[in-house]
Amino acid sequence: MAEDIYMARVEELAGKVVGDVAASLSLFMAYLGDQAGVFEAMDGEGPMSVADLAAKTGLNEKYLHQWLGSVSAAGYVTYDADNDTFSITPEQALIFTREGQPACMQGFIQAVVSQYESHEKAVETFKSGKGRPWSDQSQCCFCGTDRFFRPGYAANLTSEWIPSLGGVEDKLKAGAKIADIGCGHGSSSILMAEAYPNSTVIGFDFHEPSIEEARRKAADAGIDNVSFEVASAQDYPGDDFDFACIFDALHDMGDPVGAARHIRETLKDDGTFMLVEPLAGDTMAENMHPIGQIFYAFSTTVCTPASLAQDVGLGLGAQAGQKRLTDVLTKAGFGKVRRASETPTNMVLEITA
């Protein structure tokens, strides 16, 4: 069958792809600069020649020259062509090197690099249709996930999200029993333990290396009202919890209904379950924007394979939307679901009996 090709449309799409190629390589360059400490070395230094930067970092001047060309063209670093010097503005420093600041995007970038790192397994999984366990992702993915989510939790969890729930903050201040399920490296558990010293937090995750890392972090922070246990969301030990939470993990679970049911059964009758999930509309059409583009991509190679690798294998996906999440929670026996808060990337649901 003859087909009409409109060259203007080809050129437009090719131009977009060239931009995407440049962007994907810029992320890789940003990752190199992060891992080699180049952004950090430039932060607050003012204009530097390539030789200055090589002397400060101990890196090869030839490599730095090429790297600076790429990141300057990307706008990640500022190039002064008249003096042949490079610098970073405070805004560039916030995005690329100020660790722990909500604006720092290196965790996001690290999570992307982790997907390229294991591209062969991703292709194999995609073609086979089989699951791929969370534990099969690269170490860079676990660290990138924690590094990406932690600044958002630090900025919002105890100042916005918990206060947005009915009566929960007072309980946590007075002293409550908290379960953080699918806690990963434990950043959310540690933040709650620090903010509510009268409460006790238990972080559960079925990925043992993540639990070991969470224990290390709590020990480093010198906090003793938090502990971590290797356990699955469907049958972690303990009961009579006042508050249960899941941060960006329900959609990774094979049996989210079973997990939510276990939460309901181990919560006190007047307890609250806070579910933090990626922000998404209820239909794919509502998610046709960069955040949707990003989450659907991670969902293709990380979240959905992680779910399909477990019993039930529901594969909710990282853009499930409040309607499908409410369906899961209702099937688990919860009576009320309310959108309590949201950020540009997350929705926070308050779930009660």
Ligand X SMILES: C[S@@+](CC[C@H](N)C(=O)[O-])C[C@H]1O[C@@H](n2cnc3c(N)ncnc32)[C@H](O)[C@@H]1O
Name the residues that contact ligand X, by CB under 6 A: 134, 145-146, 149, 182-184, 187-188, 205-207, 210, 232-233, 247-249, 252-253, 306, 310
State which residue, 183 or 347, has the beta carbon closest to ligand X: 183
Side-chain-side CA neighbours of 110 within 13 Å: the count stands at: 23
The two counts, helices (H) then strands (E), for the chain are 15, 9
- Strand order across the 267-278 sheet: 226-230, 200-205, 177-181, 241-247, 267-278, 346-352, 336-342
> Residue 33 CB, nearest distance to ligand X (Å)?
24
State which residue, 74 or 312, has the beta carbon closest to ligand X: 312
End-to-end Cα, the chain, rounded Å: 59
Token pair for 334: 């919860």
State which residue, 183 or 275, has the beta carbon closest to ligand X: 183
Q: Shortest CA distance to 325 belongs to which of 268, 288, 269, 276?
A: 276
3-state SS, residue 249: coil
State which residue, 67 or 148, has the beta carbon closest to ligand X: 148
The answer to whether residues 328 and 352 touch, using CB atoms and an 8 Å cutoff, is no
Work out the widest C-alpha separation in the chain, in whole angstroms: 73
Residue with the CB atom nearest ligand X in the bound state: 184
> Residue 200 CB, nearest distance to ligand X (Å)?
18
- Containing 63, the helix (H) or strand (E) segment is helix 61-74
State which residue, 64 or 211, has the beta carbon closest to ligand X: 211
> Residue 149 CB, nearest distance to ligand X (Å)?
4
- The residues, any chain, with a CB within 8 Å of residue 192's CB and separated by 6 or more, are 157, 158, 162, 172, 178, 180, 199, 201, 226
State which residue, 70 or 301, has the beta carbon closest to ligand X: 301
Distance separating alpha carbons of residues 163 and 143, to the nearest angstrom: 28
State which residue, 207 or 261, has the beta carbon closest to ligand X: 207
Side-chain-side CA neighbours of 223 within 13 Å: the count stands at: 26
> Residue 134 CB, nearest distance to ligand X (Å)?
4
State which residue, 71 or 226, has the beta carbon closest to ligand X: 226
> Residue 333 CB, nearest distance to ligand X (Å)?
18
> Residue 123 CB, nearest distance to ligand X (Å)?
21
Distance separating alpha carbons of residues 277 and 1, to the nearest angstrom: 46
> Residue 192 CB, nearest distance to ligand X (Å)?
12
> Residue 309 CB, nearest distance to ligand X (Å)?
9
Q: Tell me the angle at which helices 208-221 and 187-195 cross, rounded to the nearest 10 degrees.
A: 30
Distance separating alpha carbons of residues 156 and 291, to the nearest angstrom: 19
> Residue 136 CB, nearest distance to ligand X (Å)?
11
| Chain-centre distance for alpha carbon 247 | 9
State which residue, 27 or 253, has the beta carbon closest to ligand X: 253
Distance separating alpha carbons of residues 151 and 146, to the nearest angstrom: 9
Token pair for 95: 């995005």
